[in-house]
Protein backbone atom coordinates (compact mmCIF):
# COMPACT_ATOMS: atom_id res chain seq x y z
CA UNK A 1 0.00 0.00 0.00
CA UNK A 2 1.14 3.59 -0.55
CA UNK A 3 2.52 5.20 2.59
CA UNK A 4 -0.41 7.49 3.44
CA UNK A 5 -3.12 4.81 3.23
CA UNK A 6 -0.96 2.23 5.04
CA UNK A 7 -0.50 4.80 7.82
CA UNK A 8 -4.27 5.21 8.03
CA UNK A 9 -4.78 1.44 8.24
CA UNK A 10 -2.25 1.39 11.08
CA UNK A 11 -4.14 4.21 12.86
CA UNK A 12 -7.32 2.14 12.67
CA UNK A 13 -5.68 -0.96 14.15
CA UNK A 14 -6.37 -0.09 17.77
CA UNK A 15 -4.44 -1.62 20.64
CA UNK A 16 -6.57 -3.71 23.05
CA UNK A 17 -6.11 -2.42 26.62
CA UNK A 18 -8.59 -4.61 28.49
CA UNK A 19 -12.23 -5.64 28.26
CA UNK A 20 -13.97 -3.26 25.81
CA UNK A 21 -11.09 -0.78 26.07
CA UNK A 22 -8.89 0.19 23.11
CA UNK A 23 -6.12 2.71 22.51
CA UNK A 24 -5.43 4.73 19.39
CA UNK A 25 -2.73 7.21 18.44
CA UNK A 26 -2.58 10.16 16.06
CA UNK A 27 -0.15 10.76 13.19
CA UNK A 28 2.81 12.99 13.99
CA UNK A 29 2.26 15.59 11.28
CA UNK A 30 2.32 18.79 13.32
CA UNK A 31 -1.41 19.46 13.55
CA UNK A 32 -2.57 21.48 16.58
CA UNK A 33 -5.50 19.12 17.24
CA UNK A 34 -6.68 15.66 16.29
CA UNK A 35 -8.62 15.42 13.01
CA UNK A 36 -12.28 14.72 13.80
CA UNK A 37 -12.65 12.04 11.13
CA UNK A 38 -9.85 10.08 12.77
CA UNK A 39 -11.68 9.97 16.11
CA UNK A 40 -14.97 8.97 14.44
CA UNK A 41 -13.22 6.17 12.55
CA UNK A 42 -11.28 4.88 15.56
CA UNK A 43 -14.38 4.94 17.76
CA UNK A 44 -16.28 2.99 15.09
CA UNK A 45 -13.49 0.39 15.02
CA UNK A 46 -13.63 0.07 18.82
CA UNK A 47 -17.42 -0.43 18.82
CA UNK A 48 -17.29 -2.87 15.88
CA UNK A 49 -14.84 -5.13 17.71
CA UNK A 50 -17.49 -5.84 20.36
CA UNK A 51 -20.16 -6.97 17.86
CA UNK A 52 -20.32 -10.09 15.63
CA UNK A 53 -19.32 -9.57 11.99
CA UNK A 54 -22.79 -10.73 10.93
CA UNK A 55 -24.24 -7.52 12.40
CA UNK A 56 -22.64 -4.49 10.68
CA UNK A 57 -23.18 -0.89 11.82
CA UNK A 58 -25.94 1.06 10.12
CA UNK A 59 -25.64 4.41 11.90
CA UNK A 60 -23.53 6.43 14.28
CA UNK A 61 -24.14 9.70 16.11
CA UNK A 62 -21.21 11.53 17.65
CA UNK A 63 -20.33 14.68 19.59
CA UNK A 64 -16.94 16.38 19.61
CA UNK A 65 -16.52 17.60 23.19
CA UNK A 66 -12.96 18.95 23.29
CA UNK A 67 -10.15 19.33 20.80
CA UNK A 68 -7.84 16.32 21.02
CA UNK A 69 -4.07 16.62 21.54
CA UNK A 70 -2.28 14.71 18.75
CA UNK A 71 0.66 14.00 21.05
CA UNK A 72 -1.47 12.10 23.59
CA UNK A 73 -2.93 8.59 22.98
CA UNK A 74 -6.72 8.28 22.90
CA UNK A 75 -8.45 5.59 24.95
CA UNK A 76 -11.79 4.33 23.66
CA UNK A 77 -14.15 2.88 26.27
CA UNK A 78 -17.01 0.84 24.80
CA UNK A 79 -20.24 0.40 26.75
CA UNK A 80 -22.51 -2.47 25.70
CA UNK A 81 -25.92 -0.80 25.86
CA UNK A 82 -28.07 -3.51 24.27
CA UNK A 83 -27.91 -6.77 22.31
CA UNK A 84 -31.33 -7.32 20.77
CA UNK A 85 -32.83 -9.74 18.30
CA UNK A 86 -32.11 -7.51 15.28
CA UNK A 87 -30.24 -4.50 16.63
CA UNK A 88 -27.18 -3.99 18.82
CA UNK A 89 -26.27 -0.67 20.46
CA UNK A 90 -22.89 0.50 21.69
CA UNK A 91 -21.71 3.73 23.28
CA UNK A 92 -18.09 4.83 22.91
CA UNK A 93 -16.29 7.45 24.98
CA UNK A 94 -12.90 8.76 23.90
CA UNK A 95 -10.57 9.97 26.63
CA UNK A 96 -7.17 11.61 26.88
CA UNK A 97 -6.14 11.08 30.46
CA UNK A 98 -9.22 11.93 32.52
CA UNK A 99 -10.69 14.24 29.86
CA UNK A 100 -13.55 13.02 27.68
CA UNK A 101 -12.97 14.56 24.25
CA UNK A 102 -15.61 12.67 22.24
CA UNK A 103 -18.73 10.51 22.67
CA UNK A 104 -20.52 8.36 20.10
CA UNK A 105 -23.43 5.95 19.89
CA UNK A 106 -23.39 3.23 17.22
CA UNK A 107 -26.29 1.02 16.15
CA UNK A 108 -25.71 -2.34 14.43
CA UNK A 109 -28.34 -4.24 12.45
CA UNK A 110 -28.53 -7.79 11.16
CA UNK A 111 -28.99 -7.81 7.36
CA UNK A 112 -32.57 -8.23 6.16
CA UNK A 113 -34.70 -7.63 3.06
CA UNK A 114 -37.15 -4.71 2.81
CA UNK A 115 -38.35 -1.73 0.82
CA UNK A 116 -35.71 0.05 -1.26
CA UNK A 117 -35.48 3.48 -2.87
CA UNK A 118 -32.88 6.22 -3.14
CA UNK A 119 -32.41 9.67 -4.64
CA UNK A 120 -30.55 9.39 -7.97
CA UNK A 121 -26.95 10.49 -8.30
CA UNK A 122 -26.38 14.09 -9.40
CA UNK A 123 -25.40 14.87 -12.99
CA UNK A 124 -21.77 15.61 -12.17
CA UNK A 125 -18.56 14.98 -14.14
CA UNK A 126 -17.04 11.62 -13.27
CA UNK A 127 -13.69 11.23 -11.50
CA UNK A 128 -11.92 10.31 -14.74
CA UNK A 129 -12.96 13.67 -16.20
CA UNK A 130 -11.47 15.69 -13.34
CA UNK A 131 -7.90 16.43 -12.26
CA UNK A 132 -6.81 15.38 -8.81
CA UNK A 133 -6.88 18.00 -6.05
CA UNK A 134 -3.22 18.93 -6.44
CA UNK A 135 -3.58 19.52 -10.19
CA UNK A 136 -6.88 21.36 -9.74
CA UNK A 137 -5.41 23.73 -7.20
CA UNK A 138 -2.05 24.36 -8.86
CA UNK A 139 -3.07 24.21 -12.53
CA UNK A 140 -4.80 27.60 -12.58
CA UNK A 141 -3.29 31.03 -13.04
CA UNK A 142 -5.51 32.29 -10.22
CA UNK A 143 -3.79 32.79 -6.89
CA UNK A 144 -5.30 30.61 -4.17
CA UNK A 145 -5.11 31.37 -0.44
CA UNK A 146 -2.07 29.54 1.02
CA UNK A 147 -4.22 27.61 3.54
CA UNK A 148 -6.46 26.26 0.75
CA UNK A 149 -3.44 25.29 -1.34
CA UNK A 150 -1.78 23.58 1.63
CA UNK A 151 -4.89 21.53 2.45
CA UNK A 152 -5.55 20.25 -1.05
CA UNK A 153 -1.91 19.57 -1.93
CA UNK A 154 -1.19 17.74 1.33
CA UNK A 155 -0.47 14.02 1.08
CA UNK A 156 -3.74 12.62 2.41
CA UNK A 157 -4.68 8.94 2.74
CA UNK A 158 -7.84 9.99 0.86
CA UNK A 159 -7.60 11.03 -2.80
CA UNK A 160 -9.80 14.05 -3.60
CA UNK A 161 -11.15 15.34 -6.92
CA UNK A 162 -13.22 18.47 -6.18
CA UNK A 163 -15.73 19.64 -8.79
CA UNK A 164 -16.50 23.31 -8.00
CA UNK A 165 -12.89 24.45 -7.56
CA UNK A 166 -13.78 27.99 -8.58
CA UNK A 167 -15.35 28.71 -5.19
CA UNK A 168 -11.85 28.88 -3.70
CA UNK A 169 -10.65 31.44 -6.25
CA UNK A 170 -12.86 34.33 -5.18
CA UNK A 171 -15.32 35.33 -2.46
CA UNK A 172 -18.44 35.28 -4.61
CA UNK A 173 -21.45 33.95 -2.65
CA UNK A 174 -22.83 30.85 -4.34
CA UNK A 175 -25.52 28.26 -3.80
CA UNK A 176 -24.33 26.21 -0.79
CA UNK A 177 -23.57 23.01 -2.68
CA UNK A 178 -20.30 21.22 -3.25
CA UNK A 179 -19.29 17.97 -4.92
CA UNK A 180 -16.07 16.04 -4.49
CA UNK A 181 -15.05 12.56 -5.59
CA UNK A 182 -13.00 10.72 -2.99
CA UNK A 183 -11.51 7.32 -2.28
CA UNK A 184 -8.75 5.68 -0.29
CA UNK A 185 -5.48 6.55 -1.98
CA UNK A 186 -4.52 2.92 -2.37
CA UNK A 187 -6.02 -0.58 -2.17
CA UNK A 188 -7.69 -1.68 1.06
CA UNK A 189 -8.16 -5.17 2.56
CA UNK A 190 -11.44 -6.85 1.63
CA UNK A 191 -12.77 -6.57 5.21
CA UNK A 192 -15.97 -4.44 5.00
CA UNK A 193 -15.26 -3.09 8.50
CA UNK A 194 -12.10 -1.44 7.18
CA UNK A 195 -14.02 0.18 4.32
CA UNK A 196 -16.65 1.54 6.71
CA UNK A 197 -13.97 2.96 9.01
CA UNK A 198 -12.14 4.61 6.09
CA UNK A 199 -15.42 6.15 4.88
CA UNK A 200 -16.10 7.40 8.41
CA UNK A 201 -12.66 9.06 8.35
CA UNK A 202 -13.29 10.65 4.93
CA UNK A 203 -16.82 11.81 5.78
CA UNK A 204 -15.40 14.65 7.94
CA UNK A 205 -13.36 16.06 5.04
CA UNK A 206 -14.64 19.29 3.39
CA UNK A 207 -18.17 18.92 4.84
CA UNK A 208 -18.17 21.80 7.32
CA UNK A 209 -16.67 24.05 4.64
CA UNK A 210 -19.94 23.74 2.70
CA UNK A 211 -21.65 25.87 5.37
CA UNK A 212 -19.69 28.95 4.24
CA UNK A 213 -20.21 28.73 0.48
CA UNK A 214 -23.31 30.95 0.63
CA UNK A 215 -21.21 33.67 2.28
CA UNK A 216 -18.23 33.57 -0.06
CA UNK A 217 -16.01 32.31 2.75
CA UNK A 218 -14.17 29.10 3.69
CA UNK A 219 -13.02 27.44 6.90
CA UNK A 220 -9.48 28.18 5.69
CA UNK A 221 -9.95 31.94 6.23
CA UNK A 222 -7.78 33.17 9.10
CA UNK A 223 -10.66 35.20 10.55
CA UNK A 224 -13.04 32.22 10.75
CA UNK A 225 -13.04 30.00 13.83
CA UNK A 226 -14.40 26.62 12.83
CA UNK A 227 -14.80 23.27 14.55
CA UNK A 228 -17.03 20.22 14.11
CA UNK A 229 -19.58 19.95 16.93
CA UNK A 230 -21.37 16.74 16.03
CA UNK A 231 -21.38 14.15 13.28
CA UNK A 232 -23.87 11.54 12.13
CA UNK A 233 -23.34 8.84 9.52
CA UNK A 234 -25.71 6.24 8.08
CA UNK A 235 -24.54 3.24 6.04
CA UNK A 236 -27.17 2.23 3.46
CA UNK A 237 -25.53 -0.28 1.13
CA UNK A 238 -22.24 -2.18 0.77
CA UNK A 239 -19.41 -0.28 -0.93
CA UNK A 240 -15.67 -0.17 -1.40
CA UNK A 241 -13.88 2.89 -0.05
CA UNK A 242 -10.92 2.26 -2.38
CA UNK A 243 -13.09 3.01 -5.43
CA UNK A 244 -14.40 6.49 -6.24
CA UNK A 245 -17.36 7.78 -4.25
CA UNK A 246 -19.16 11.04 -5.04
CA UNK A 247 -19.66 13.14 -1.90
CA UNK A 248 -22.64 15.46 -2.56
CA UNK A 249 -22.70 18.21 0.08
CA UNK A 250 -25.09 21.04 0.84
CA UNK A 251 -25.88 23.41 3.69
CA UNK A 252 -29.57 24.15 4.36
CA UNK A 253 -28.88 26.59 7.23
CA UNK A 254 -26.39 28.67 9.16
CA UNK A 255 -27.45 30.58 12.27
CA UNK A 256 -26.26 31.43 15.75
CA UNK A 257 -22.58 30.93 14.95
CA UNK A 258 -23.25 27.38 13.75
CA UNK A 259 -23.51 25.90 10.27
CA UNK A 260 -25.41 22.75 9.31
CA UNK A 261 -24.28 20.55 6.42
CA UNK A 262 -25.56 17.35 4.84
CA UNK A 263 -23.83 14.86 2.61
CA UNK A 264 -24.75 11.85 0.49
CA UNK A 265 -22.21 9.40 -0.92
CA UNK A 266 -22.70 7.50 -4.17
CA UNK A 267 -20.56 4.84 -5.79
CA UNK A 268 -19.66 5.02 -9.46
CA UNK A 269 -22.64 2.82 -10.33
CA UNK A 270 -24.91 5.55 -8.93
CA UNK A 271 -25.95 3.66 -5.79
CA UNK A 272 -26.51 5.74 -2.66
CA UNK A 273 -24.23 4.05 -0.11
CA UNK A 274 -24.14 6.45 2.86
CA UNK A 275 -25.52 9.73 4.24
CA UNK A 276 -23.92 12.24 6.59
CA UNK A 277 -25.06 15.22 8.68
CA UNK A 278 -22.91 17.61 10.67
CA UNK A 279 -23.21 20.86 12.59
CA UNK A 280 -20.15 22.93 13.29
CA UNK A 281 -18.96 26.20 14.73
CA UNK A 282 -18.37 28.90 12.08
CA UNK A 283 -17.65 31.95 14.21
CA UNK A 284 -15.93 35.11 12.90
CA UNK A 285 -12.76 35.75 14.88
CA UNK A 286 -13.00 39.46 14.14
CA UNK A 287 -15.77 41.59 12.68
CA UNK A 288 -15.00 41.96 8.95
CA UNK A 289 -17.63 43.21 6.54
CA UNK A 290 -19.20 39.97 5.30
CA UNK A 291 -20.08 39.26 1.72
CA UNK A 292 -23.78 39.42 0.97
CA UNK A 293 -25.22 35.94 1.63
CA UNK A 294 -26.66 33.84 -1.13
CA UNK A 295 -30.44 33.67 -0.72
CA UNK A 296 -31.86 30.16 -0.93
CA UNK A 297 -35.20 30.26 -2.70
Query: What pLDDT score was predicted for residue 282?
Result: 96
Question: Across residues 215-223, what is the average pLDDT?
Answer: 93
Q: Write down the pTM of the prediction.
A: 0.93
Which residues have CB under 8 Å from 12's CB, separation 6+? 41, 42, 45, 194, 197, 198, 201
H/E segment holding residue 74: strand 74-83
Secondary structure in 3-state letters for 22-91: EEECCCCCCCCCCCHHHHHHHHHHHHHCCCCCCCCEEEEEEEECCCCCCCCCEEEEEEEEEECCCEEEEE
Supply the Cα-derived Rg of the chain in whole angstroms: 19
Is 190 an active-site residue?
no
Please choose, from the candidates 99, 277, 241, the residue with its C-alpha nearest in 3D space to the C-alpha of residue 158: 241
Distance CA 132, CA 137 (A): 9
Q: Write the pLDDT tens digit of every residue in 9-29.
A: 999 999 999 999 999 999 987
Q: Write the pLDDT tens digit of every residue in 32-47.
A: 899 999 999 999 999 9
Which residue among 185, 204, 221, 230 is the active-site one? Answer: 204
Least confident range from 25-29, 141-145, 151-155, 289-293: namely 289-293
Strand partners, 104: 62, 92
Is 204 an active-site residue?
yes
Is 278 an active-site residue?
yes
Amino acid sequence: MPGAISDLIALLDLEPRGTDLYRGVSPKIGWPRVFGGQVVAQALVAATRTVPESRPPHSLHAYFLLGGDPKVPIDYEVERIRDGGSFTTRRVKALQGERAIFAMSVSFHAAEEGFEHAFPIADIPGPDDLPDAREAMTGSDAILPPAVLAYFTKTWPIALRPVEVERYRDRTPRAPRFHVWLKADGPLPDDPAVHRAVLAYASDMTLLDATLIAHGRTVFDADIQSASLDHALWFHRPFRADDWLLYVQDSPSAAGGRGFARGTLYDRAGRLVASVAQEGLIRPRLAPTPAAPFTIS
